[in-house]
Amino acid sequence: MSVIPANGKLRRGVDLLHDPQHNKVAAFSEEEREALGLIGLLPEGIDTPAVQVERVLHQVARRPSDLGRYILLSALWDNDETLFFRVLMSDPARFMPLVYTPTVGEACQEFGHIIRRPRGLYLSAKRRGRFREIMNNWPEGDVRVIVVTDGERILGLGDLGANGMGIPIGKLALYTACAGVPPQATLPVMLDVGTNNQELLSDPLYLGLRQPRVTGKEYDDLVEEFVAAAQDAYPKCCIQFEDFANTHAVPLLAHYRDRVCCFNDDIQGTAAVAVAGILAALRIIGNRMGDHRFLFLGAGSAATGIADLLVRAMVREGAAEPDARRRCWLFDSKGLVTASRGNDLASFKRPYAHEHPPVGDFVAAIETLRPTAIIGVSTMARAFNQSVIEAMARVNERPVIFPFSNPTSKSECTAEEAYAWSQGRAIFAAGSPFAPVEYHGRTFVPGQGNNVYIFPAIGMAIYATEAKRVTDDLFLEAAKGVAEQVTDADLASGLIYPPQSGIYETSLKVAVRVAGAIFDAGLAGVPRPDDLDAFVRGKAYRPEYPKLI
């Protein structure tokens, strides 16, 4: 007998061992080995699933660096997709930092040096006019989630050009591992429009287009061709825009959000995970969202996206929208964003440009505005210095400190700094992981405000319901769904997000809540089931080998 994969080609023997979707390495049964021409091509030992995972864990432990572990896991994915996801899902708290942040940042910087086997689609400016044709080269016919980047603003690392492909690849691994979106339904895409990073252009191992970035109308037309080609090839797919520069991220979302099923995780996903953290913090402080004042260090699309969702949450509580906006303040490279700066401001900053005298120092802004929470989305390492944290502790009994920039090297402060400089009173969450902190006999478990709590669940809900559009209300529902799973015991340890060890179950619960909101809004492409929980869970991928004979 032979394996017949989706493309209809028969696979046996060595060809089967080179097919990551069907390869079982040493886990093929005696019957499968006989029937599929594998005798002699494998050692005689037959692995159980537990032994397979144990062998990978052994190999991971022997690698001397996280980048080495990333390379090992990538090779495993290329060889045995099911085992790759079984390993990730066996201990997500351990493996998420290896396949995504913070390790993926270094992996992107080194992408041209470490790549073994290409993954995903590369649509370059050189191939304009052929994007729909190129999509026919992808072997899967029912893609439901595309993560696309142009590599211009990778994490806090800047323009990495085609090296940024590591981000869509890593994100989609988490769609599957954390929420059960089937891997065959996902597609990473790189829009290679060149790079302005001279170091990359001078690197003989760089694999992207060696030209300056395409801009203006030519850029807009290229994105339009991609969106049209994706919609034509995969009419049920959702497009996630990822790591685009602010100059493109905000306009692209505004242009496409009402036309196709799409979202921007840097704007909307970051907003939802921040709001989830604030909702959990409210349970510690004991008041309402509308009682707080938020000061952002950084005034890009991430900051305004968080502010917009905070405003939506406050309006849901009963606040008037202008009053809610007055509770959100931005601080950028020129100081406090105020109305007096007028036309110098980007359009997305203007709703938060309030009447106020200029303030050029962040500590002075804290002392003047007396914010209850500071949220760092600046990519300025250690910008929340001792003076900043101490100022927050002076004006708040329980200051909320969220250094959300990542990777870790760009975090505005560490967990240890936040707890020490606030005398253990900070409610802390960061964009990158930090180890537990001992302070005056107490152990604090820092939360990670990682978008992984949001985008996989959103994707699973969209996949299950075949949603036609993605609205901001879905992200507010996701934030609430995450926050409600934080236990009193979690809060007592300082943790304001559910433990990452249970991320799969957390994500499915959030996905069910979001799916309900999709049906309520009339956005679903399928009839509403009687049992929504069973419906969503029935769609979820689990890492089990396919039956071959």
Predicted model pTM: 0.93
Sorting pLDDT into bands at 50, 70 and 90, what band is 16? very high
Is pLDDT above 60 for 5? Answer: no
Strands (E), 354-512: 373-376, 400-403, 427-430, 437-439, 442-444, 447-448
CA proximity to 250, closest of 331, 346, 325:
346
> DSSP class of residue 154?
B
Is pLDDT above 90 for 346? Answer: no
Is pLDDT above 50 for 471? Answer: yes
The CA–CA distances, whole Å, from 302 to 67, 84, 111, 307 equal: 27, 32, 25, 9
Encode pLDDT of 377-386 as tens digits: 999 999 999 9
Amino acid identity, residue 255? Answer: H
Q: Which residues lie across from 296 on neighbouring strands?
A: 330, 375
Encode pLDDT of 169-205 as tens digits: 999 999 999 999 999 999 999 999 999 999 999 999 9
Structural domains of the chain ordered from first start: 13-99 (1.20.1370.30), 118-260 (3.40.50.10380), 268-452 (3.40.50.720), 457-539 (3.40.50.10380)
Sorting pLDDT into bands at 50, 70 and 90, what band is 343? confident
Is pLDDT above 50 for 2? Answer: no
pLDDT score for 3: 44
pLDDT score for 9: 56
Using the structure block, give the residue that is written with the tokens 């107490």.
442
Q: Which residues are catalytic?
A: 100, 171
Encode pLDDT of 117-169 as tens digits: 999 999 999 999 999 999 999 999 999 999 999 999 998 899 999 999 999 99
Encode pLDDT of 18-32 as tens digits: 999 999 999 999 999
Amino acid identity, residue 327? Answer: R
